[in-house]
């Protein structure tokens, strides 16, 4: 870190030098420079700091790997033959001892000698890093300063750097997607080595409790995800049954009837519903809606479990009203006025116009909005975690507790866990299903919108 | 529907008045009037349904906020019991050194207990004595110790100290626990009620503004639990997100909107950003767990990791908002700059970006507000731990405000429920503040071209 600061400081000195040299080269006639002096300065700065900082950061990433590799090569075979977890543990202790801390395990001669070796390598690496980093920086500055002349195109060079940096930033989105795909996919593949894909996708039994010892009763957890899919579907259906009609009717009213004053108040108010954090909806579902439904159920003689699919679904429905309404509103508003006027001019009432002209014309947008709302409902986590329950019941009864994909991901991963058990890996497999499902819904929605949209121009 | 009904012989069987008009024989004047009346009635009904839907949605929002407010407003007050506590020199600081280490070791819990026993001398039973001690919170002794340490001159005489009441007593005083319920179903028993009546008659019970809620970290005791630790954790996360998501997002958007040639690569980036915006937040949590924790071995439960995860989640929002803001700057600005001999980079950096700044800021603030309210990905990276200490750096274990809400909502104590609702109010206040700032920026600086 200090090294980076020193390099940047050096490069700033280079900026000042570059600027003044460019000014000096121009003499009294600044216009004779191709680029303004500041660009010369920045060019020197970039040549000084850019490669050096990149090298140091790369070094910091590669350094632990190289160190580990060389320490492992120096270890006696009896330590190397340990299981990988123990070896990991040993290496961590080596690093701790070399750092002057106490090891987690006991102190052994092997540990001590390895730590000494590790410390020696580490100090060499640090010295080398400083020397090479500074050398690269100074060399860069030297080259940069050497470039300065009246017709050197410093501005074009600096702008090329800026463009490259912007492109690199834009590419982070690709890195993120790749990160999601690979992290989720690799862990899922490891899971499918332990549990066959067909068992996971079509199994009817979900009880991920794997035993600590192999000889325990019920030691093999079962990973049939159908109850989770059914639960997710049930809650999504309930949510859409709430959000669909309310969202659609609101959108139609806002787009076709409401005065602009009413619209200016009502639309942002509806959108507040989408801005409320989901954990607040979870609280509302668990502590207000669920007891209320339970009370109503008991008063009419129905047994309602305290964590019912109905409560979670209703509240989730409230949450996605604005997704449905604002997308439907956009679609309805995009229908050209000529269609509306023609229908009204023929004597149809507004309601008839909406039902028979506007909605059919806006249908692709409305369908896409519904699909996006469904994808939102499937991926929603906090409401179901707090209100839907953990028991994997395969049931269509909304008054019982069901569980969903997201709830199980949370339950499997919260708390201490080892990363290799089927239990934790199952969470990644569920994550993969979730990712693929929402991605598909998204793609279908886009496709519907683009393919079936009527072109009126 | 239309095709099917046209072919029907009996016009009266058709449902919709308009279609009946179109398909049947010409109606008489009265019949036509009747049909028109029905159609207008339908129209009015439909309109009412639309209005009704909006009213339903708004009242659901109102119900949500109301239920939070009614459950939470009590948590902003806390019950204190004032006791005259003797601070004998020989028990606290026999040598009279006044040193904090000596005072710190004194048995302040014992002093509080003795005071209570002296006030109610007829309490003999061990279980009743325990209940009597339990009127004040277990944290009161620490509080008393701190106050004596801050002012050693108190030692040697009697002083009145207002001590934090335990959560059940607090709920009783606030009226949440009903005195008229049968004793077996009440958390506060009859003898405790009697003691409280005595204390209240003495004017020793009062409710004050609950500063503990805003200054303490989490605790197992509701009356000692606060949101400050979570607020600080959230603050660090927002800091990380602000310094990563906004620059990266603005840079990506600027590239895509102003510089990108139409290539496969840039198309791919665009599709990617749109898809990322639709990925459920919990999947970002899985990414954070697998990449930041397992591959890079960053510390679990650290706001840094939370901030990084939220950055990836917020990026698409910032990119989309920035692109919209850039697009709203008219091309004439760019053309004028280019025409005066500015390079493309200069035109964008000196003219387009400053003009787009209000829109960029608005979008960034809205993205940050989303990130502030996000819970699910933080659960994946271990920010759900029970953490008492206030985090000092972004690398210390911490929790975040929404996660604290989730944790408290799970607690069975009635007093935690009201604190959950209070924490929600604080979170909503932050969000309202951020959104108001965004609206203000838009109103104040947005230019219509």
Is A443 found in the same domain as A334? yes
For A43-101, give the DSSP string. Answer: HHHHHHHHHHHHHHHHHHHHHHHHHHHHHHHHS-HHHHTS-HHHHHHHHHHHHHHHTTP
What mean pLDDT value characterizes chain B? 83
Is A240 found in the same domain as A138? no
Q: Which of A136, A152, A168 is the last residue of a domain?
A: A152
Q: Which residues in chain A are closer than 8 Å to B283, comparing Cβ atoms?
A: 180, 184, 379, 431, 434-435
Interface test with B, best of A277, A320, A435 (most B CBs within 10 A): A277
Which residue would you say has higher pLDDT here, B92 or A217?
B92
Is A402 found in the same domain as A264? yes
Task: Provide the shortest C-alpha distance from residue A341 to chain B (in Å).
Answer: 17
B69 at interface of A, judged by CB pairs closer than 8 A:
no
Percent of chain A whose predicted confidence (pLDDT) is above 70: 90
A89 lies in some domain: yes
Is A388 found in the same domain as A277? yes
Q: For the packed helices A154-194 and B264-278, what is the interaxial angle rounded to 10 degrees?
A: 50
Q: Which residues in chain A are closer than 8 Å to B58, comparing Cβ atoms?
A: 266, 269-270
Structural domain total, chain A: 2
Q: What is the pLDDT of residues B235-277, one digit of tens each?
A: 999 999 999 999 999 998 998 888 888 888 878 888 888 888 8
Q: Which of A101, A128, A152 is the last residue of a domain?
A: A152
A192 lies in some domain: no
- Lowest average pLDDT, out of A417-431, B284-298, B333-347, goes to A417-431
What mean pLDDT value characterizes chain A? 82
Q: Is A311 helix (H, G, I), strand (E, B) or coil?
A: helix
Q: How far apart are CA B108 and CA B145, in angstroms?
A: 6
A212 lies in some domain: no
Is A437 found in the same domain as A331? yes
Q: In whole angstroms, what separates CA A162 from the centre of its chain?
A: 27
Is A316 found in the same domain as A406? yes
Q: How many CB pairs under 8 A join A and B?
A: 256
Is A264 found in the same domain as A136? no
Q: What average pLDDT does range A177-196 have in this prediction?
A: 84
Contact B428 A325 (CB under 8 A): no
Q: How far apart are CA A9 and CA B42, in angstroms?
A: 76
Q: What is the pLDDT of residues B276-327, one digit of tens each?
A: 888 899 999 888 888 888 777 777 888 899 999 999 899 888 998 899 899 9
Contact A266 B58 (CB under 8 A): yes
Helix and strand numbers (H, E) in chain A are 18, 2
Residue in A316, A332, A328, A327 with CA at minimum distance from that of residue A240? A316
B194 at interface of A, judged by CB pairs closer than 8 A:
no
Residue in B414, B74, B374, B385 with CA at minimum distance from that of residue A287? B414
Query: And the tokens for A250?
Result: 């609101």
Interface test with B, best of A88, A154, A159, A169 (most B CBs within 10 A): A169
Q: What average pLDDT does range B145-150 have in this prediction?
A: 81
Residue of chain B whose Cα is closest to the Cα of A249: B50
Contact A173 B272 (CB under 8 A): yes
Contact A166 B279 (CB under 8 A): no
What are the distances in angstroms from CA A126 to CA A63, A64, A67?
9, 11, 12
Q: How far apart are CA B115 and CA B125, in angstroms?
A: 17
Among A397-406, B105-114, B343-352, which range has the highest average pLDDT?
B343-352
Task: Provide the shortest C-alpha distance from residue B324 to chain A (in Å).
Answer: 16
Interface test with A, best of B52, B258, B274, B286 (most A CBs within 10 A): B286
Q: What is the pLDDT of residues A217-236, one digit of tens each?
A: 444 567 888 888 988 999 99
Cβ under 8 Å to A: B residues 12-31:
18
- R_g over Cα of chain B: 33
Q: What's the confidence (pLDDT) of residue B423?
A: 92
Q: For the packed helices A154-194 and B303-327, what is the interaxial angle rounded to 10 degrees?
A: 130
Q: Can you give the CATH number for the domain in which A409 is found?
A: 1.10.3720.10
Q: Is B81 helix (H, G, I), strand (E, B) or coil?
A: strand
Q: What is the pLDDT of residues B47-58, one digit of tens each?
A: 999 999 999 999
Interface test with A, best of B1, B49, B57 (most A CBs within 10 A): B57
A185 lies in some domain: no
Q: Which residues in chain B are closer than 8 Å to A423, comparing Cβ atoms?
A: none
A331 lies in some domain: yes
Contact A250 B57 (CB under 8 A): yes
Q: Which of A98, A128, A152 is the last residue of a domain?
A: A152
Is A229 found in the same domain as A91? no
A213 lies in some domain: no
A186 lies in some domain: no
Q: What's the confidence (pLDDT) of residue B307?
A: 92
Domain that holds residue A335: 222-452
Q: Is the pLDDT of residue A404 over 50?
A: yes
Q: What is the pLDDT of residues B153-212, one digit of tens each?
A: 777 778 888 888 888 888 888 877 877 877 777 777 777 888 888 888 888 888 888 888
Is A262 found in the same domain as A351? yes
Q: What's the confidence (pLDDT) of residue B372?
A: 92
Is A51 found in the same domain as A148? yes
- Whether ipTM exceeds 0.90: no
Is A144 found in the same domain as A226? no
A169 lies in some domain: no
Task: Provide the shortest C-alpha distance from residue A29 to chain B (in Å).
Answer: 19
Q: What average pLDDT does range B12-18 have in this prediction?
A: 51
Q: State the alpha helices, DSSP H only, in B73-99.
A: 89-92
Is A404 found in the same domain as A321? yes
């Amino acid at each position: 870190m200090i090294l980076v600061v020193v390099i940047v400081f050096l490069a700033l000195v280079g900026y000042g030098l570059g600027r003044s040299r460019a000014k000096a080269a121009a003499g009294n006639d600044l216009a004779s420079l191709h680029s303004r002096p500041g660009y010369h300065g920045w060019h020197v700065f970039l040549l000084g700091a850019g490669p050096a900082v990149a090298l140091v950061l790369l070094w910091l990433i590669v350094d632990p790997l190289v160190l580990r590799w060389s320490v492992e090569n120096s270890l006696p075979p009896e330590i190397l033959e340990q299981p990988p977890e123990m070896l990991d543990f040993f290496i961590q202790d080596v690093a701790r001892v070399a750092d002057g801390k106490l090891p987690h395990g006991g102190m052994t001669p092997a540990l001590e000698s390895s730590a000494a070796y590790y410390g020696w390598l580490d100090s060499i690496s640090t010295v080398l890093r400083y020397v090479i980093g500074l050398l690269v920086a100074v060399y860069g500055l030297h080259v940069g300063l050497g470039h300065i002349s009246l017709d050197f195109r410093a501005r074009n060079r600096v702008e090329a750097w800026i463009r490259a940096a912007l492109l690199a930033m834009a590419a982070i989105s690709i890195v993120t997607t790749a990160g999601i795909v690979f992290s989720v996919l690799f862990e899922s593949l490891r899971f499918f080595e332990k549990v066959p894909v067909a068992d996971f996708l079509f199994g009817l039994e979900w009880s991920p409790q794997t035993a600590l010892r192999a000889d325990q009763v019920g030691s093999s957890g079962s990973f049939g995800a159908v109850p989770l899919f059914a639960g997710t579907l049930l809650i999504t259906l309930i949510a859409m049954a709430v959000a669909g009609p309310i969202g659609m009717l609101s959108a139609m009213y806002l787009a076709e009837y409401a005065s602009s004053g009413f619209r200016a108040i009502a639309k942002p108010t509806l959108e507040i519903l989408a801005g409320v954090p989901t954990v607040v909806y979870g609280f509302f579902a668990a502590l207000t809606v669920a007891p209320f439904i339970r009370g109503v159920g008991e008063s009419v003689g129905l047994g309602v479990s305290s964590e019912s699919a109905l409560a979670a679904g209703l509240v989730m429905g409230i949450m996605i009203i604005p997704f449905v309404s604002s997308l439907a509103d956009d679609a309805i508003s995009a229908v050209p006025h000529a269609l509306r006027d023609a229908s009204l001019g023929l004597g149809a009432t507004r309601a008839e116009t909406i039902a028979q002209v506007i909605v059919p014309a806006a249908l692709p947008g409305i369908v896409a909005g519904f699909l996006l709302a469904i994808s939102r409902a499937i991926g929603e986590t906090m409401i179901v975690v707090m209100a839907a329950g953990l028991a994997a019941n395969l049931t269509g009864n909304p008054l019982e507790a069901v569980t969903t994909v997201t709830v199980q991901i949370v339950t499997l991963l919260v708390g201490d866990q080892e990363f290799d058990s089927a239990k934790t890996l199952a969470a990644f497999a569920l994550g993969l299903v979730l990712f693929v499902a929402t991605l598909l819904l998204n793609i279908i929605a886009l496709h519907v919108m683009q393919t079936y949209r009527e072109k009126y121009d | 529907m239309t095709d099917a009904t046209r072919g029907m012989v009996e016009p009266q069987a058709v449902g919709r008045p308009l279609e009946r008009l179109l398909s049947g024989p010409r109606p008489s004047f009265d019949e036509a009037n009747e049909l028109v009346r029905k159609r207008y009635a339908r129209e009015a009904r439909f309109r009412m349904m639309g209005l009704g839907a909006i009213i339903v949605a708004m009242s659901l929002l109102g119900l949500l906020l109301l239920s939070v407010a009614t459950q939470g407003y009590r948590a902003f007050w806390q019950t204190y019991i004032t006791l005259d506590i003797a601070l004998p020199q020989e028990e606290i600081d026999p040598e009279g050194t006044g040193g904090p280490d000596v005072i710190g070791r004194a048995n302040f819990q014992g002093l509080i207990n003795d005071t209570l026993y002296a006030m109610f001398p007829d309490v003999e039973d061990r279980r009743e004595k325990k209940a009597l001690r339990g009127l004040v919170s277990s944290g009161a002794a620490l509080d008393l110790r701190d106050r004596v340490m801050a002012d050693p001159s108190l030692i040697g005489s009697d002083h009145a100290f207002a001590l934090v009441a335990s959560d059940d007593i607090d709920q009783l005083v606030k009226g949440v626990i009903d005195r008229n319920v049968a004793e077996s179903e009440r958390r506060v028993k009859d003898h405790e009620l009697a003691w409280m009546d005595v204390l209240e008659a003495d004017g020793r019970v009062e409710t004050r503004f609950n500063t503990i809620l805003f200054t303490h970290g989490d605790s197992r005791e509701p009356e000692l639990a606060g949101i400050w630790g979570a607020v600080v954790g959230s603050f660090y996360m927002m800091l990380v997100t602000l310094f990563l998501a906004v620059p990266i997002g603005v840079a990506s958007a600027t590239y895509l909107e102003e510089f990108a040639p139409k290539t496969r690569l840039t198309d791919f980036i665009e599709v990617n950003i749109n898809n990322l915006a639709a990925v459920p937040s919990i999947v970002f949590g899985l990414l954070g767990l697998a990449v930041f924790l397992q591959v890079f071995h960053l510390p679990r439960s650290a706001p840094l990791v939370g901030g990084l995860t939220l950055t990836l989640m917020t990026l698409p929002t910032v990119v989309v908002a920035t692109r919209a803001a850039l697009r709203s700057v008219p091309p004439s600005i760019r053309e004028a700059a280019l025409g005066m001999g500015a390079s493309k980079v200069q035109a964008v950096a000196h003219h387009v970006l400053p003009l787009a700044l209000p829109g960029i800021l608005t979008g960034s603030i809205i993205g940050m507000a989303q990130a502030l309210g996000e819970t699910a990905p933080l659960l994946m990276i271990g920010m759900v731990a029970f953490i008492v200490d206030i985090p000092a750096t972004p690398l210390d274990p911490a929790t975040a405000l929404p996660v604290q809400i989730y944790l408290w909502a799970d607690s069975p104590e009635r007093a935690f429920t009201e604190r959950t609702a209070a924490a929600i109010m604080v979170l909503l206040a932050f969000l309202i503040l951020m959104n108001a700032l965004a609206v203000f920026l838009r109103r104040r600086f947005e230019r219509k071209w």
